[in-house]
Structure 1
Amino acid sequence: MTGPTPTPPPGPGRYTATLRLDGVRDKAGFLDRCAQDLGLPAWFGQNWDALADCLRDLSWWGRPEEGFVLRVHGWEAFRTAAPEAAATAAEVFAEATGHWADRGTPLTVRYE
């Protein structure tokens, strides 16, 4: 399943991206889906550190004044199928959330 490539908003507001984890059962699948659904830049290296780097940058999503929202669909099924990968992904998301909070531009991750 290939999701649409995110496009930064034309002006102020909140940018929302959706990560669809339907059928994802391991780390490799998770990182592939992140690249597809989140429109990660070409320099994304398909590993946890590279994902963390992408989420700390977000210039490729634009600079909305009200911050960013990342909706993660299918989280519970992924967490059940790949608990270690899900724990690491949650840590990466939490670190990115803290990074943006420190800069006054919130990144909210919604697990759905």
Structure 2
Amino acid sequence: MRTDAPVVLDLTGVTDKAGLMDRCSVALALPDWFGRNWDALADCLTDLPEPVTLVVTGWQEYARTRPREWATAQDVFATAVDERPTRLAVLLSLGAYSEDPTNPLPRASDD
């Protein structure tokens, strides 16, 4: 699996399942038939046309405000990885994300 060109799924500002599904649709260029529900996401993740390394950023606030939805999302991602381990890897970024590698976002606490 290639890790040199990951797909970034930035969840910054996502407050609900609809927002998560919209971000997944855009980041992964999901097909028009994507129904924006958990089963449709699972189907799309296991049918990706080429190997994908998905880096999920900005997920912490969504996980705090919608813990049940976040748990379901993690289950969907994990199941897809288990079913297609050579086609999908999902990584959770633990730090802040910046599009500009020369200007990283400040950390919450540097003391």
Query: Given the two structures, how large is their TM-score scaled by the length of structure 2?
Result: 0.75
Give the drift of 1:106.
4.8
Question: Is 2:59 aligned against 1:75?
Answer: yes
Structure 2 SS opposite 1:25: coil
Matches of residues 88-103 of structure 1 in structure 2 within 5 Å?
88-101=72-85
Question: Is 2:5 aligned against 1:24?
Answer: no
Which structure has the bigger radius of gyration?
A: 2
Partner of 2:107: none
Task: Give the alignment partner of residue 32 of structure 2, picking from 18, 36, 42.
Answer: 42
Counterpart amino acid of residue 31 in structure 2: P
**How many residues of Structure 1 are paired with residues of Structure 2 in the alignment?**
91
> 2: distance between equivalents of 1:58 and 1:21?
20
Task: Identify, as 1 or 2, the structure richer in helix.
Answer: 1
Give the drift of 1:78.
1.3
Partner of 1:110: 91
Q: Note the residue ranges of structure 1 that are not aligned, 5 or more in a row.
A: 1-12
Q: CA RMSD in A?
A: 1.4
Equivalent pairs: percent with the same residue?
Answer: 48
Structure 1 SS opposite 2:80: helix
